[in-house]
Amino acid sequence: MATADNSKRIKGQTGEWEVVIGMEVHAQVTSEAKLFSGASTAFGGAPNSHVSLVDAAMPGMLPVINRRCVEQAVRTGLGLRAQINLKSVFDRKNYFYPDLPQGYQISQFKSPVVGEGKVVVDMPDGESIEVGIERLHLEQDAGKSVHDRHPTMSGVDLNRSGVALMEIVSKPDIRSSEEAKAYVSKLRSILRYLGTCDGNMEEGSLRADVNVSVRKPGDALGTRCEIKNVNSIRFIGQAVEYEARRQIEILEEGGKIVQETRLFDANKGETRSMRSKEEAHDYRYFPDPDLLPLEFDQNFVDSIAASLPELPDEKKLRLMKEGGLSAYDAGILVNERETADYFEEVAKGRDAKVAANFVINELFGRLNKEGKAISSSPVSSSQTGAILDLIAEGTISGKIAKDLFEVVWTEGGDPRAIVEKRGMKQVTDPGAIEKVIDDIIAKNPAKVEEAKAKPKALGWFVGETMKATGGKASPQVVNELLKKKLEL
């Protein structure tokens, strides 16, 4: 993992540079209530409504941990093939900020609930990279400050205060913006499969702190900058690109990189220093005396492991092995759990390759065109399955299937009934097709001669026949009859 192939390197004035990236992904745990209070985790709501007196850090309020959040962290750890720590400790991270009511964040510093693991990331060029996971720990989210409501004051809303987050820290195993994007996409996919985070980046359920440094290949690690709170996969790519170029420029001009926290400005597509966070950090971590160490036994872990769903890597392998799909097609299908589920419903009892082709080309093509998610597809998996059945039994041709799909997409209904009602069945009766062919041959003697000399010209007759039958003639029957009649 330590060396990058040359294609990932960035060319500078003084030669090639290697980018080294590590990430801290903050994933909001899917749960009803907050990590240490019974207030709702619902997104939005009137300011300071989803807030208990614990979240507002009223005097004498105490934290009590939500079991589900612990289970979700363990589930995620298992999904990342990571070490699960049967004993971990909650620490207080002390700092003052208006959206941090306690004056400390309850987090895990020295003893996280999950230790080392790994994620395999498939790149579009077919290469796979492995990104090491350093640790995963549970912590509280902070509230939100809004700055546009008052000329001299900021408003503080504690609705997010105390929501459970998993901080997933990667090793510095990532070597390009593409890999960074692919890593977060894969992590998001795993979390969504596990049901431990909804991965909704627009609502801030998943956000990344990206640590970027550059070095000449073979050199020791360079000084890194941390780009805080990047909240879309596209921005992660842009932030890495910009930051790597910025650092290379500084170094090539003989400058030094200052270790600092930076902010990605999506409007300008650049990173800039966050002065307000620059004051010397001294978080004064110590074990939270309001809580005891978090301890559970192996049975607790085993019962969660037993309920783990099939994850994208395993699913991909199975689709390749059982259904004979290509790695590329299988990769596309398993990316989103909903997509994979849809595909598997369609493929059940049918030819997997045919199903994969149809789902990827017809369904995904149409969804992409309309910017729709699979969950809001107007064509259900059983409707798609019915279309495939009609092709398989020869009732319709592949070409008619496309038209039929369009009808089902816009109007809905049972595909078989639509075929029946609209007369979309393909004509397989050789007698009927023969009549049409005879007519075309009779009217085009020159073309007949051409075809006899150059059998490739057969295609012209196929096209004419299809045209004359309104596309309903079975292409297979047409081909056979033409060959016979033209004595090819």
Partner 1 sequence: MSVDDDTVRRIARLARIAVEEKEIPHWRGEINAVLKFAEQLNEVNVDGVEPMTSVTPMQLPMREDKVTDGEVPEKVLSNAPQTQDGFYLVPKVVE
Partner 2 sequence: MMTLLTSLTLAEARDGLRAKKFSARELADAHLASMEKARGLNAYVLETPARALEMAKASDARIASGKAGPLEGIPLGIKDLFCTENIRTTACSKILGNFIPPYESTVTSQLWRDGAVLLGKLNNDEFAMGSSNETSHFGPVISPWRRKGSNAPLVPGGSSGGSASAVAAELCLGATGTDTGGSIRQPAAFTGIVGMKPTYGRCSRWGIVAFASSLDQAGPFARTVRDTAILMRSMAGHDPKDSTSADIAVPDYEKAIGKSVKGMKIGIPREYRIEGMPDEIDKPWEAGREWLKAAGAGIVDISLPHTKYALPAYYIVAPAEASSNLARYDGVRYGLREQGRDIIDMYEKTRASGFGHEVTRRVLIGTYVLSAGYYDAYYLRAQKVRTLIKKDFEDAFNQGVDAILTPATPSAAFAIGEKSSGDPTEMYLNDIFTVTVNMAGLPGIAVPAGLDHNGLPLGLQLIGKPFGEEELFSLGSVIEQAAGRFQPRDKWWAV
Segment interacting with partner 2 (CB under 8 A) among 102-110, 117-125, 203-211, 409-417: 102-110
Q: Which is nearer to partner 1, 37 or 177 (CB)?
A: 37
Q: Which is nearer to partner 1, 252 or 295 (CB)?
A: 295
Whole-number Cα distances in Å, 345 to 323, 326, 383, 450: 13, 19, 11, 48
Considering only residues 259 to 298 of the shown chain, the ones binding partner 2 according to CB under 8 A are 282, 284-286, 289-292
Which string of DSSP letters, residue by residue, matches 87-142? EE--EEEE---TT-TTSEEEE-SSS-SB--EEEEEE-TTS-EEEEEEEEEEEEEPP
Q: Which is nearer to partner 2, 278 or 438 (CB)?
A: 278
Element (H, E) at 74: helix 67-79
Q: Give alpha helix (H) positions in 260-371.
A: 298-306, 312-323, 327-334, 337-347, 352-357, 365-370
Which string of DSSP letters, residue by residue, matches 394-413? TSS-HHHHHHHHHHHHHH--
Segment interacting with partner 1 (CB under 8 A) among 9-17, 18-26, 152-160, 381-389: 152-160
479, with CB counted inside 10 A (0-12, 13-18, 19+), is middle
Query: What does 104 interact with, of partner 2, partner 1, none (CB < 5 to 8 A by kind)?
Result: partner 2
Segment interacting with partner 1 (CB under 8 A) among 200-208, 274-282, 307-315, 473-481: 274-282
Q: Which is nearer to partner 1, 89 or 210 (CB)?
A: 89
Among 22, 63, 237, 331, binds partner 2 (CB under 8 A): 63
Residues counted in the chain: 488
Element (H, E) at 76: helix 67-79
Query: What does 183 interact with, of partner 2, partner 1, none (CB < 5 to 8 A by kind)?
Result: none
Residues 6+ apart with CB under 8 A from 296: 70, 74, 86
Here's the x/- map for partner 1, 290-329, by CB under 8 A: it reads as -xxxxx----------------------------------
The answer to the question of residue 89 lying near partner 1 (CB under 8 A) is: yes
Smallest gap, in angstroms, from Cβ of residue 305 to partner 2?
27
Q: How far apart are CA 388 and CA 346, in angstroms?
A: 9
Smallest gap, in angstroms, from Cβ of residue 293 to partner 2?
11
Whole-number Cα distances in Å, 241 to 214, 228, 300, 363: 11, 15, 43, 33
Name the token pair of 29.
């745990």
Among 1, 53, 392, 488, binds partner 1 (CB under 8 A): 53
Any idea what DSSP says for residue 64?
-
For residue 298, count other CB atoms closer than 10 A to its CB: 10
Q: Compute the Cα dihedral for 460, 462, 468, 471 and give only its sign.
A: negative
With vertex at residue 225, the alpha carbon angle to CA 222 and CA 229, rounded to the nearest 5 degrees, is 145
The answer to the question of residue 49 lying near partner 1 (CB under 8 A) is: yes
Applying CB under 8 A, the site for partner 1 has a residue count of: 52
Query: What does 47 interact with, of partner 2, partner 1, none (CB < 5 to 8 A by kind)?
Result: partner 1
- Do 79 and 46 contact (CB within 8 A), yes or no? no
Query: What does 294 interact with, of partner 2, partner 1, none (CB < 5 to 8 A by kind)?
Result: partner 1
Query: What does 39 interact with, of partner 1, partner 2, none (CB < 5 to 8 A by kind)?
Result: partner 1
Q: Which is nearer to partner 2, 94 or 185 (CB)?
A: 94
Query: What does 63 interact with, of partner 1, partner 2, none (CB < 5 to 8 A by kind)?
Result: partner 2
Q: How far apart are CA 123 and CA 130, in angstroms?
A: 11
The answer to the question of residue 287 lying near partner 1 (CB under 8 A) is: yes
Q: Which is nearer to partner 1, 42 or 432 (CB)?
A: 42
Query: What does 60 interact with, of partner 1, partner 2, none (CB < 5 to 8 A by kind)?
Result: partner 2
The answer to the question of residue 145 lying near partner 1 (CB under 8 A) is: yes
Q: Is 89 helix (H, G, I), strand (E, B) or coil?
A: coil
The answer to the question of residue 462 lying near partner 2 (CB under 8 A) is: no
The answer to the question of residue 274 lying near partner 1 (CB under 8 A) is: yes
Segment interacting with partner 1 (CB under 8 A) among 43-51, 117-125, 132-140, 397-405: 43-51
Here's the x/- map for partner 2, 135-154, by CB under 8 A: it reads as -------------------x
The answer to the question of residue 244 lying near partner 1 (CB under 8 A) is: no
Task: Catalog residues that contact partner 2 under the rule CB under 8 A.
Answer: 53, 56-65, 92, 94, 96, 98, 101-104, 154, 156, 282, 284-286, 289-292
